[in-house]
Amino acid sequence: MTNQSIPLIPRRALFGNPDRTSPRISPDGAWLAFLAPVDGALNVWVGPSQDLAAARPVTDDREKGIRFYLWAYTSRHVLYVQDRAGDEDWHVYCVDPDSGKTTDLTPLAGVHAQIQGVSHKLPWEVVVGLNDRDPEYHDLYRVDISTAERTLLLRNDDFAELMIDDDYRVRLGMRITPDGGSEMFTLSEGGEWEPFMKVEMEDLLTTVPVAFGRDGGRLYLTDSRGRDTAVMAAIDLDTGVETVLAEDSRADAGDVMLHPADNEVQAVSFTYERERWEALDEGVAADLERLRSVAEGDVDVVSRTLDDGVWVAAYHVDTGPVRYYRYDRGAGRAEFLFADRSDLDGLPLARMRSAVVKSRDGFDLVCYYTLPPGEESLPAPMALNVHGGPWGRDEWGFDPIHQLLANRGYAVLSVNFRGSSGLGKGFMNAANLEWGGRMQDDLIDAVGWAVSEGIADPDRVGVMGGSYGGYAVLAGLSMTPDFFACGVDLVGPSNLITMVESIPPYWRPAIEMGATRIGDSRTEAGRALLAERSPLTHVERIRRPLLIGHGANDPRVKRAESDQIVEAMRERGIPVTYLVYPDEGHGFGRPENNMSFTAAAEAFLAGHLGGRFEPIGSDFEGSSIEAHEGAAQIPGLEEAIRVERVRRESAGPG
């Protein structure tokens, strides 16, 4: 079967709202919550755990939708966080499903609120962090979820991160040192901070406290000190003795299953090419083995009752939706709940494959790729999709970008370049001061592998990505101007000096980490490096087509990062298409906006790489998209924006 004979997968099936997702069972097991759309926005629904048909929405978000929520230990309240238009000034809300009452627990303007912790020992309170007193530091407060009354727990003038236990005692504080490492301190019963642990710069991102154990006498943490990959370990806080609980020679300890009542570590995940779980508790080992026989895919336990009797398990595959099951441990029985995207069933989805590619200096690059249907289509035009962070990573599983572009006739490649997380500290630290340097070389080397394997047509390789991935797009087109045929940049920085000097104030306590890993704008040598690695410095070298998208309210990578490179290209007569979303921040939260940008990107790639594309059609409806430059360069873009603008104006306010 050729690619042309395969029907186009509708964008809406891949990028629209899920049917239902993110199920969470209440601590007492009586209720099940999940996210599902209400008038196009994701909201929290709650129903009896044994009767999903009786579920009803309990929140009323009308804008970008809710993405994160959790149960309070009352089993009667749901907590969630929300900002406005992507500004990341998060508020913490509490909703009572019975009464429908929603309370803003942090009703402060211009404040970045954080949920620091909830506890079954103090079910009517939540600990939140607020930076209203000092924008750089979060003070901790105990907040009554029924009255919103706040009580100061700790005034924080020093620590980038704080850690509490289930009794809401502040136990640990961490601050970044001038050399890019960290110092951890414990808080004595007398209220004095005492030195506990020094973490060198090379271990900062791979040595992380996880939880205090059952009696508060043990600290569980991932720890890479004295080794390459981070182990899961326990430190006896009385003796200082550390015990290694689980380790892998190729991958860092990742997700952790903690007993919901006493925080004891029960299982640890490791992900090299695929995720694997190592159980430390024999009972949990038997349950995980039983769950693996229930359905296909990699299984994760995403929610548990307080007595640990009922789990919610998620099954991830590469060619279909996530499927959720309710698992009764006592009965050993799993019951299907729902799939997150039922529209995916029956669609011509493609397998995601993995490969380990050698970089030019000998590193193993864990890559994932998806091929267009029909082997006769190879070599194919290829899209290199670069992940953000950069201290994140790509993993195996369902990926809507991979599926969309493979269906359109592209090979799609994702690369865990140096600096990607989970693959050891040597791999992580090899990225220090290598933005636009060896990190970029890794991407080029992986593309070279795809060309040598007969997968990619070397003359038709595009690059795309968001955040750091967007930076890699700009770096690729400006620093290797003949390598890529085109690029799609979403919220990527163009000037590393202005990027690091405009970070949100609550990131400033960690500025030394950025100085050692990206570059130090406070020194002459550091500024020179940052300037040299900035795409804006090399803008005149750009000669391949470029599409840029940005949210106007982005607090992490300010809109100015896109404005300035677009202006520089305009001054030099270099074509660029620039789309701005006035109600978005760092990435697109509203499905309508995500859909519109994807539609524009799909048409853009088709024009320059030769793949198929679904016409824009009605996929701009409800979007805030604005074209600030070069709309005529993408087929159908100007007309679609005009139609949506007329629709909005005729609809009037609201």
Predicted local confidence at residue 1, as pLDDT: 42
Task: Indicate the range of 122-126, 274-278, 620-624, 645-649 predicted with least confidence.
Answer: 645-649
- Report the run of H or E that residue 476 belongs to, with start and end: helix 468-479
Distance CA 39, CA 51 (A): 23
Distance, CA of 439 to CA of 95 (rounded, Å)? 45
Task: Tell me, yes or no, if 467 is annotated catalytic.
Answer: yes
Residue 102 and residue 95 in contact, taking contact as beta carbons nearer than 8 Å:
yes
CA distances for 619 relative to 583, 594, 636, angstroms: 17, 10, 12
Residue position matching structure tokens 């074209």? 627
Residues contacting 616, CB < 8 A, separation 6+: 596, 599, 600, 603, 636, 637, 640
Burial class (CB in 10 A: 0-12, 13-18, 19+), 525: exposed
Residues 6+ positions from 127 with CB-CB distance below 8 Å: 115, 116, 117, 118, 140, 141, 142, 143, 153, 164, 168
pLDDT band for position 286 (cuts 50, 70, 90): very high
User: Measured at the alpha carbon of residue 315, what is the angle toward residues 334 and 302, in degrees to the nearest 5?
Assistant: 80
* Contact yes or no for 265/245 (Cβ under 8 A): yes
Q: With bands split at pLDDT 50, 70 and 90, how would you rate the model's confidence at 653?
A: low
Copy the structure tokens of residue 593. Answer: 């906006």
C-alpha 503/C-alpha 511 separation (Å) is 9
Mean pLDDT of the region 283-299: 96
E strand segments, 559-654: 577-581, 626-629
Count other C-beta atoms under 10 Å from residue 62's C-beta: 11
Q: For this structure, is 345 an active site residue?
A: no
| Number of residues that this document lists for the chain | 654
Range list of β-strands (E), 542-614? 546-551, 577-581
Q: Token pair of 332, please? A: 């050993």
Pairwise CA distance, residues 647 & 618, whole Å: 11
Would the CA dihedral through 413, 417, 420, 424 be positive or negative? positive
Stated pTM of the model: 0.96
Peptide bond just before 390 cis, omega within 30 deg = yes
- DSSP 8-state assignment for residue 536: G
What is the pLDDT, as a whole number, of residue 161? 97
* Catalytic-labelled residue, pool 138, 402, 586, 608: 586
Cis peptide, bond prior to residue 37, ω within 30 of zero: no
CA distance linking residue 168 with residue 116, whole number of Å: 10
Please report which residue ranges of 72-215 form alpha helices under DSSP H: none
Whether 437 contacts 419, CB under 8 Å: no
Domains, the chain: 19-157 (2.120.10.30), 352-495+534-651 (3.40.50.1820)
User: Out of 284-288, 459-463, 504-508, 603-607, which region has the weakest mean confidence (pLDDT)?
Assistant: 504-508
Span 203-230, average pLDDT: 96
Contact 265, 257 (CB under 8 A): yes
**pLDDT-derived band at 377, boundaries 50, 70, 90:** confident
pLDDT at 26 over 50: yes
Looking at residue 3, its pLDDT comes to 62
Query: One-letter amino acid identity for 12?
Result: R
What pLDDT, on a 0 to 100 scale, did the predictor assign at position 189? Answer: 85
Rounded CA-CA distance 290/63 in Å is 41
- Give me the mean pLDDT over the 416-431 stretch: 98
Per annotation, catalytic residue among 166, 442, 554, 619: 554
- Phi, psi values for residue 230, rounded to 5°: -75, 130
How far, in Å, CA of 95 to CA of 33, rounded?
A: 12
Q: In what order do the strands lie in the sheet with 102-104?
A: 69-71, 78-82, 91-95, 102-104
| Residue in 75, 420, 467, 494 annotated catalytic | 467
Tell me, yes or no, if 554 is annotated catalytic. Answer: yes
Averaged pLDDT score across all residues of the chain:
96
Strand intervals (E) in 473-543: 486-490
Quote the CA–CA distance of 256 and 385 in Å, as a whole number. 28
